[in-house]
Amino acid sequence: MPNVNSAPPVSGLAAFNALGAEEAEAGLLACCACRAFAREVAASRPYRDLDRLAETAEAVVRGLDWSGVREALAAHPRIGEPPRAAERPPAEEPSREGGPVPGSGSADRPEGHPERPGHPEHQERPEHSEREAAWSRGEQAGVDTAGKDILDRLAEGNRAYERRFGHVYLICATGLSAEEMLVRLTERLGNDEDTERDVVRTELAKITRLRLAKLLGAAP
């Protein structure tokens, strides 16, 4: 499998088109940490422009099965929680459609959800590549100036969200304040599961588009 930490810097779309398959997939994994995504987008090269690449990437993200989305989610830190840079972890266990998923224990389990071993708060969070970690820190810059009350409420909201949906709260945080992230988290807690999955795909597509621009050295 491609090693994200060994992926070479990419300067421009022409350089990306010219990379070997493994190198291209490694760069793409930093944009959306799903192996199926990286394989499909890399295999569709060459791209004539960044817009075409971004459109293809968005279509692939939206077409992922839920286990692929969860694999991508596993590489994102909680809002307000710094990522750890290291090797990418193995793929996450299948979703409830194909097996157990991380989440709350039976006492906190929403009706209709299968048992999830342990509580997300106490599980090891996946580690990031150096590139992903740096991007995540920049994207969550809105929490850097937040007061303790907002940070505490974000932490509490993260726990509530993970108990409800069984995965990390994902939002395209670029340009948002901590207060705005908290408001949106609170609103999304009212979603049913199908609605929230649609929102997650939309947020993941936004993040992926911004990271592709960073990967190629283009202005987001």
Catalytic annotation, residues: 119
CA distances from 26 to 115, 200, 204 (A): 34, 23, 18
Burial zone of 107 (CB within 10 Å; 0-12 exposed, 13-18 middle, 19+ buried): exposed
Residue 35 tokens, joined = 């192996």
Q: What is the 3-state secondary structure (H, E, C) of 61-102?
A: HHHCCHHHHHHHHCCCCCCCCCCCECCCCCCCCCCCCCCCCC
Using the structure block, give the residue that is written with the tokens 């421009």: 12
Provide the CB-side half-sphere exposure for 207 (13 A, CA).
30
CA distances from 160 to 3, 68, 164 (A): 33, 23, 6
Rg (CA), the chain: 17
128 forms bridges with which residues in the sheet?
A: 85
